[in-house]
Chains A and B, each alone.
Chain A
């Protein structure tokens, strides 16, 4: 994202004074390779949103096809007054913030560990990436059945084993029932920490090492160097990780669907909209909810992007 602004000048300027028609022809020649992709994206991603917007003002339930008609703001009122929707908004915020913050902190710690040279660094890095490369549904299934299961899951198995060493009766909690939202959060943290770690590691390795060496020679402690040199440098990467993580995790469907099937207060917005549409077949209400989610996303994304770019400007202006 940062490299975009810097390159604006180097290539855009090809000032060859030409007569109007020839200039227009060159402009179109330049545009031509772009058009297929642009038109494709507009048709496949923008038209459906327009359709969603239209349907959101309609009374349309697939179970009652003859009652289809204009509904005004009814769907929106129903969405706003629906307690499940409000819970879903809250769940989405908790889930996203929880996963992003925890995986960002863990990722930072691990990136710092991997920034040193040590024996087997490549192997540890490869091991760290593995969770991210398990298909999300498979990962969620793995956590649900092979790890969380109260009878034969690895967690309770490990508890039995450890308590067995002392000859005591092991606790065998039912992880998913006891803490449903945290179960989903932990599984997602496991998958997303590698992503944060990779971004932050890339940031760490772009640090100016000579300055840090100079600070060390001047007697700065490791903590001082971390606080006043590494962290400010990483800020941009932390923000990028948080922004991208939020974009991907706000939309999470796989983990919620697989681990809890949206039960026990874990239904987030994508899952809730999916059920309104897929199970209740209430197309109007599902669309209204989708429109609200889109507006919310646009607000948050704009805010996030503005923060990132203003922070970036602030930093480079210094």
Chain B
């Protein structure tokens, strides 16, 4: 490449020289190989722990505890077998997590869609204040509300009840959903709404044939993100549940202290519990930032 460059005299050109287009492009291409390589190496480094988790989950306990690591050890389902039928069954916690996440997500959608409608399509007065009220609840540390909720649950017999978690997760995700939904709803062109009103379309018809086509993908993304946050939550689930309503992250905390040879089982558990989030996250990949930045970055 350097020979070629010296012959055609398009090699390293000083930036001041007025040589348009070609030399600059050439220089970028050469650096490009290294930058591409760097991008790949970085990507692989970041995904490595996840890949290692998946690989180890398919190793036997003895192979998983090797040092140096036994990368090419034979694959086995031992870890999964041990996780699912070794000790306490993970199914009730997994089902609890699923219930809490699905029901709270549904509640969030039911509450946030009308709210977002009243903040964008037909906005109330001072709608920015309302919007920032929702945001402010997200900034307050959740740990400050923990004790009253615990005492409330204790006095009403709701401790270790999945419905309490559902209500809390709904409040945790509602601000995110309102912000996201509002940003999706404000993408509905005003002219289309006006045209629909002119044609005498009622609310149901406007919702179905004007608003729905524009915002449905956004609603799906909102739902996936709310699902992820509910599924991941640990602090409240740990304090407010015990044996009956225990969720999957709480179940995972039994792995905090090491217990002899348990790495393969731990990796299997971590992978199983993360699987729904990985699936939902990759499905919502494009809207992930929008959700996490509360709809402010598109």
Give A residues with C-beta under 8 Å from B. Answer: 1-5, 7-8, 10-12, 27, 30-34, 36-38, 40-41, 44-49, 51-52, 55, 109-110, 113-114, 116, 118-121, 123-139, 141-147, 149, 151-152, 154, 156-158, 160-161, 164, 190, 193-195, 198-199, 202-203, 216-217, 219-222, 237, 240, 244, 247, 250-251, 253-254, 257-258, 261, 269-270, 273-274, 277-278, 283, 286-287, 290-291, 293-294, 297-298, 301
Contacts and interface: CB of A to CB of B under 8 A. Distances in A.
A142 B297 contact: no
Interface in B42-60: 42-44, 46-47, 49-50, 52-53, 56
Contacts of A161: 68-69
Nearest to B138: A247
B232 A247 contact: no
Given A38-B130, A129-B281, A157-B67, A221 B139 contact: no
B118 A30 contact: yes
Contacts of B17: 219
Given A7-B186, A118-B36, A136 B232 contact: yes
**Which of B40, B47, B139, B277 has the largest number of chain A CB atoms within 10 A?**
B139
Contacts of B128: 4-5, 8
B157 interface: no
A135 B134 CA distance: 25
Nearest to A156: B67
A144 B128 CA distance: 43
Given A33-B115, A240-B296, A130 B50 contact: yes
B281 A132 contact: yes
Given A30-B118, A113-B42, 16 more contacts: A51-B147, A51-B152, A119-B36, A130-B278, A132-B288, A133-B228, A142-B49, A142-B267, A152-B263, A190-B49, A253-B235, A277-B146, A290-B146, A290-B147, A293-B141, A294-B140
A113 B46 CA distance: 14
A217 to B, nearest CB: 6
9 contacts: A7-B186, A27-B124, A132-B288, A135-B273, A202-B297, A240-B293, A244-B293, A290-B144, A294-B140
A30 B285 CA distance: 34
Which bucket holds chain B's interface residue count? 35 or more
B100 interface: no
B147 A286 contact: yes
The 10 closest A-B pairs by CB, nearest first: A33-B114, A51-B148, A138-B270, A133-B281, A290-B144, A37-B115, A124-B43, A48-B145, A34-B118, A44-B171
B231 interface: yes
A72 B124 CA distance: 42
B256 interface: yes
A11 B121 CA distance: 7
Given A55-B148, A152-B263, A258-B253, A220 B111 contact: no
B127 interface: yes
Given A37-B112, A198-B288, A240-B296, A11 B53 contact: no
For A32, A118, A217, the residue with the greatest tally of chain B CB atoms inside 10 Å of its CB is: A118
Given A34-B115, A118-B35, A198 B147 contact: no
Contacts of A190: 46, 49
B20 interface: yes
A81 to B, nearest CB: 21
A127 B130 contact: no
Contacts of B112: 37
B3 to A, nearest CB: 25
Contacts of B125: 12, 27
B147 A146 contact: no
Interface string B122-155: 1111011011011011111111111111111000
Contacts of B46: 127-128, 130-131, 190, 193-194
Interface string B76-107: 00000000000000000000000000000000
Contacts of B228: 133
A147 B141 contact: no
Given A11-B120, A198-B288, A278-B239, A137 B143 contact: no
